[in-house]
Amino acid sequence: MSEKISAYHILIMHKDSANSRSELTKDKAHKLIKDIHTKISKEDSKNQVIFKDFAIKYSDCASGKSGGFLGEFGKGVMVKEFEDAAFKLGVGEMSKPVESDFGFHIILRDA
């Protein structure tokens, strides 16, 4: 049986992202995700409540409305860059910004 994890994420899209409605340039989106990462890290990167608040406020993904929760998933479900970063995290760990075709992500592994 393949390993499954669950995670939260924050997605910042830019105008060149897949399926994007964003007007941000790639550079501005990258700066924003780095700023969000810094703010969460200064608060408490392992605190789901803080992470969820940032997801609700900033994430361009529909999951942002639910605090960025993606639920449980196995390998081969998410885009490779996201999946590789998510599966390297320990439970409760937050990733550095990760770039995919959809934009820039910060991932918090839940289980």
Structure tokens at 7: 């995670």
Residue 43 has what pLDDT?
87
CATH class of the region 4-109? alpha beta
Cα–Cα distance between 1 and 58 in angstroms, integer?
35
Question: Is the pLDDT confidence value at 84 over 90?
Answer: yes
Question: b/e string for 88-111 if b means 16 or more Cβ within 10 A?
Answer: ebeeeebbebbbbebbbbbbbbbe
Question: Is the pLDDT confidence value at 1 over 90?
Answer: no
pLDDT digits (tens, 9 = 90+) for 19-78: 998 999 999 999 999 999 999 999 876 688 999 999 999 999 999 999 999 999 999 999
